[in-house]
Structure 1
Amino acid sequence: MPFGLTNAPTTFQRIINQVLREYLDIFVVVYLDDILIFSDDLGTHKEHMHKVLKKLEDAKLLVEPEKSHFHVQEVNFLGHTIRPNEIRMEQGKIAAVKDWGTPKTVKEVQAFLGFTNYYRRFIKDYGKITAPLHDITKKGIEFQWDNRQQKAFDEIKNRILSEPVLRMFDPTKEVELETDASDYAISAQLSQRDNDGVLHPVAFFSKKLHGAELNYPIYDKEFIAIMRAFEEFEHYCLGTIHKVKVYTDHKNIQYFATTQQLNGRQIRYAEYLSQFDYEIIHRKESENRRADALSRKPEYKQAVPKTNGQLLTTNDKGHLVQKALGATLKKTAHAKVQIDTIPSLEKLQQEAKMALIKEIHKHPLSGHQGVKKTLDRIKRHHDYPGLRREVQTVVSEYDTCARIKSARHKPYRELKPVSVPERP
């Protein structure tokens, strides 16, 4: 097989897989010409090594002794340093990041992101920290390196230089998944406990929300965080011996499986999650700080409408709304205000109600949305009898909404003059 051909790596990988197929993922991992043999003890390891070398000999494949390491408990493999029960970044890669100069062009930024992205599972909040760097690599955006980019660049370097350590995944142990969502991002942490009950991280995940996702209610954002976490860690969470424990600080997520009504998006989420064996456990925000910290980086918060209006009376039309409101009250505990001092149960005057609706409806990020979406945005924090009727009234009064609303009928045909009759 000549070097330099496009199909050469694929062909070589297929040959190696065929030769060692009997042992793959049992005690052998192979990537091109890198063969890693792992065992529980030295005696078993010698047997495994003999079997692999015999297979290579039968296939007339040679091994270079000077490039090989035998009977070691620490090895560098694909940019990682692997030790018993843990995995780290390779020291050579860490040194490369330490000496990495400030990027001067888009290509240099892309090179830095491409290098660090390989280690994103080691870095808390990677997606949100690198957001300013990704912003200047977009097509049509002028390259401009300012304090936000420099801060993100330095933060990523510091995170890597701190040499984070991840625990090796153990399929026989219970899996714990902590998820969280904020207005602008979602995050998760996959962890397992050791024999002493101490929790260790296995992998991190974070992702910045984009487009329509930013407008979702917090319930849906928390739901997305759980679903995306299972997508990211599917190879860990699918077919587990024990139930996967999912911790969230949004209380009403616990009830989605028994909720009487789900919208189309939530039904798709529930259908995907049905293949996993898991349970959702509510945990107070103060106890969910590991995942919470990943999704609440203040530097990259999006501008979202905030209202100073009082919380309106609860809606007693349906248990789901009651639970959602209860969760919202618990969610605001971080404001450090006693619940009994919040004037949330006082009824607002009619003028204040209408002002609240108009403020949310005409906000630049709302974009003069229709009745349903405006109602959804208001119900994130407020609810009272007759709210839908008043939203319909406010939306119908705006001339802007009527003019920009998309037509729902077929295009009008060309008007033709009606002939005037000669006689009545």
Structure 2
Amino acid sequence: MKIATPLIDFVGVIIGEGKLKLQPHIIKRIVDFEEETLKSKKGMRSFLGFLNYARTHIPNLGTLQRPLYEKTNAHGDKRLKRSDLELIHQIKRQVQELPDLKVPPEQAHIVIETDGCADGWGEVVKWKAHKKDSRAKESVCAYASGKFATPQSTIDAEIQACINALEKLKIYYLDKKEITLRTDCQAIISFNNKANSTKASRVRWIKFADALTGTGVKINLEHIDGKDNLLADSLSRLVHFCFEECTRELDCIRKITMEEEEGIMN
């Protein structure tokens, strides 16, 4: 165990100096993976296991991995085609160019940008030193996304995206007095502005109001133009391909991760 050290190694990442980044040996293992090894199911699973460490660093990594996971399925095409090799090379290049995620200081103001579509939702967690600072001074500290169990209407998707953000990203804001929640849905902003004078008759609005008031934190809703909400929008629209509800694949990921962590420790 290390104490009084500015950098900490933890489950494949380095935490310190206000940043979160992949450990060099994880990056090296991914980049140096031989194509011949990837032709076997065991080799492909091992490669995907190491890529799992980069999930929080690369938006939409699940989309890129999807064709490769098919190689590990019982009935999937095991052959490595030219398109598969090009995809692997693309991922290897991207892993070598990962920007560091920036850990928010204790007094930072947290901003969560949300977006929803029929299939899923996407969130980007940002922070800035002071609430009044411009958006240009904001830094990304986390990504999140998910798939809806059933297709949603436009307004329901946007509302649920906000609710999911408040529920699933509590670790970033529960110690704050207030945060900013951004959405490109004008209906949500209008509802919030009129909430004190107009009763919402729809269940979705009641649920949304409960989510806003149930955190114990002041939630400042802010509108963002769709053209400026590209990252959250991309996460939500590609999530259908990233996170299909498949128990077998999830169990496979967990197993791979445990095996590779044991290998690293040994």
In the superposition, the TM-score normalised over structure 1's length comes to: 0.47
Higher relative contact order (CA 8 A, sep 6+): 2
Q: Which amino acid aligns with 2:221?
A: I
RMSD: 3.3
For the pair 1:200 / 2:139, whether they are aligned, the reply is yes
Give the SS at the match of 1:121: coil
Give the whole-Å Cα distance in 2 for the aligned partners of 1:89 and 1:182: 31
Deviations 1:376-417 (A, max 9, x none): xxxxxxxxxxxxxxxxxxxxxxxxxxxxxxxxxxxxxxxxxx
Corresponding position of 2:171:
235
Give the whole-Å Cα distance in 1 for the aligned partners of 2:188 and 2:75: 40
TM-fit CA distance, 1:153: 3.8
Q: Which amino acid aligns with 2:140?
A: P
Give the whole-Å Cα distance in 2 for the aligned partners of 1:252 and 1:165: 35
Contact 1:129–1:155 (8 Å) recurs in 2: no
Q: Structure 1 residues 154, 267: closer, same or farther in 2, change over 3 A?
A: farther
Contact 1:125–1:187 (8 Å) recurs in 2: no
Give the SS at the match of 1:130: helix
TM-fit CA distance, 1:97: 1.2
Corresponding position of 2:56:
121
Q: Which is strand-richer, 1 or 2?
A: 2
Contact 2:103–2:141 (8 Å) recurs in 1: yes
Number of corresponding residues: 229
For the pair 1:262 / 2:202, whether they are aligned, the reply is yes
Give the whole-Å Cα distance in 2 for the aligned partners of 1:299 and 1:228: 16
Deviations 1:61-109 (A, max 9, x none): xxxxxxxxxxx54453432223322221111111111112343244433
Mean Cα displacement is larger for which, 279-288 or 76-85? 76-85
Alignment of 1:173-252 (within 5 A): 173-194=108-129, 198-207=137-146, 209=147, 211-212=149-150, 215-241=151-177, 243-252=178-187
Corresponding position of 2:93:
158
For the pair 1:293 / 2:234, whether they are aligned, the reply is yes
Corresponding position of 1:337:
none
Contact 2:120–2:240 (8 Å) recurs in 1: no
Give the whole-Å Cα distance in 2 for the aligned partners of 1:106 and 1:267: 49
Alignment of 1:18-37 (within 5 A): 34-37=1-4
Alignment of 1:252-331 (within 5 A): 252-255=187-190, 258=195, 260-263=200-203, 271-276=210-215, 277=217, 278-297=219-238
User: Alignment identity in percent?
Assistant: 22
Contact 2:112–2:181 (8 Å) recurs in 1: yes
Unaligned runs of 5+ in 1: 1-33, 38-71, 302-424
Give the whole-Å Cα distance in 1 for the aligned partners of 2:12 and 2:26: 7
TM-fit CA distance, 1:142: 5.1
Give the SS at the match of 1:170: coil
Give the whole-Å Cα distance in 1 for the aligned partners of 2:160 and 2:79: 33
Contact 2:124–2:143 (8 Å) recurs in 1: yes
Deviations 1:274-304 (A, max 9, x none): 4322122221111222322333459959xxx
Unaligned runs of 5+ in 2: 243-266
TM-fit CA distance, 1:221: 1.8
Give the whole-Å Cα distance in 1 for the aligned partners of 2:186 and 2:228: 13
In the superposition, the TM-score normalised over structure 2's length comes to: 0.70
Q: Which amino acid aligns with 1:203?
A: A
